[in-house]
Chain A
Amino acid sequence: MDEKTALEELKFIRKIIDETRQSVVYNGKDYIFWGILVIVGMMSMYIFILNGIYFKYFYIWLVLISIGWAFSIYNGRKQEAKFPSTFAGKLIGNVWGVSGIAITIIGFVGTVSGTINPMAISPIACIIMGGAYYLTGKLCEANWMSKLAYGWWIGGIALLFIKTIESFLIMSLLMLFFQTIPGIIIYRRYKKEIMVKS
């Protein structure tokens, strides 16, 4: 092997590594699904309260959150079967898993125990999600995702002051602009990547 061949080999190795990293993509379906679920939940509560229909809204969330977790587990397994696992990918999965568990505990156990005011769930969820977005952006080297964290944190601070039913509308908007739409962007990139590969 001479110098030229060695250089070609190194270029070849670099190419394979770069291509593999680029092809390890995430489909973003979780972001869209959870975004829509929370918007449905928030808007339902807004409409029910506005029309004076009162019942234990806890059950709406119990159904929606259960559907969300079932979908996330199903989507995660599908992704796992299709794409190789990376250390960063596993970290991102854990960041979202831990954040989701924290929000679920606060939302359900916190309110059922009476320790947490139900109106505090949205701002707490926003602050936790801001952290999850920030870390995800850093781990997958996507600055735009890290920047979404500021939107969540500002939204969380605003919701700490807004204690009326309009907070449900604000949370829906946050879910739309900082969760569902970014999810659609990720999904479109994923589809594009799949098309290029096929």
Chain B
Amino acid sequence: MSEFDHQQINDIIHSRIRLAVIALLISVEDAEFNFIKEKVNTTDGNLSVHIKKLEEAGYVSVKKEFIDRKPRTSYSLTKNGKKAFEIYIDHLETLTKK
């Protein structure tokens, strides 16, 4: 088993649901709440909590608008979020090469 410095792990990304949300958002420009919920396979409440954490960390930005009089909440990855995800991936790749 490889030795590993736990300080280097980004705790915000290192959660199954938050990682799934970020991986999903990296593939698109923005995604609607229900689409993310369906893809990540979680509940409204759970997803809201995790997205809130990502928002507080500055990794995800939220956009609320009305389309055809229906409210639409969409999320996108910020520059910080993209950078943090890249670092996280680099870190995982380093670990696999050990």
Which one, A1, A10, A17, A87, contacts B29 given CB within 8 A? A87
Please report the number of residue pairs spanning A and B whose Cβ atoms sit closer than 8 angstroms.
Answer: 80
Which one, B27, B68, B70, B93, contacts A20 given CB within 8 A? B27
What CA separation (Å) do A72 and B43 show in the bound complex? 34
What CA separation (Å) do A155 and B4 show in the bound complex? 64
What CA separation (Å) do A80 and B31 show in the bound complex? 10
Interface centre among B9, B19, B29 (most CB of A within 10 A): B29
Of the four ranges (under 10, 10 to 19, 20 to 34, 35 or more), the interface on chain A belongs to 20 to 34
Q: Which residues of B contact A82 (CB under 8 A)?
A: 32, 35
List which B11-62 residues lie within 8 A (CB) of chain A.
16, 19-20, 23-24, 26-32, 35, 38-39
What CA separation (Å) do A86 and B29 show in the bound complex? 5
Number of B residues near A (Cβ < 8 Å) is 31
What CA separation (Å) do A86 and B9 show in the bound complex? 29
Answer whether A13 and B19 are a contact pair too, CB < 8 Å, given A2-B2, A19-B39.
Answer: yes
What CA separation (Å) do A10 and B23 show in the bound complex? 10
Main secondary structure of the interface of A (DSSP, over half): helix
Contact at B27–A3, with CB atoms within 8 Å? no
Q: Which residues of A contact B6 (CB under 8 A)?
A: 1
Q: Which residues of B contact A10 (CB under 8 A)?
A: 89, 92-93, 96
What CA separation (Å) do A169 and B39 show in the bound complex? 46
Per-residue CB proximity of A4-24 to B under 8 Å, as 1/0? 001101101100110111011
Contact at A81–B32, with CB atoms within 8 Å? yes
- The chain B residue with its CB closest to the CB of A1 is B4
Q: Does B87 contact A (CB under 8 A)?
A: no
Query: Can you pick out 13 interface pairs between chain A and chain B where the beta carbons lie within 8 Å of each other?
Result: A1-B4, A1-B9, A2-B4, A3-B96, A6-B93, A12-B19, A12-B23, A16-B27, A17-B23, A17-B26, A19-B39, A81-B70, A84-B35
Across the A-B interface, give the 6 residue pairs with the lowest CB-CB distance, nearest first: A84-B31, A6-B95, A16-B23, A84-B28, A20-B27, A6-B92
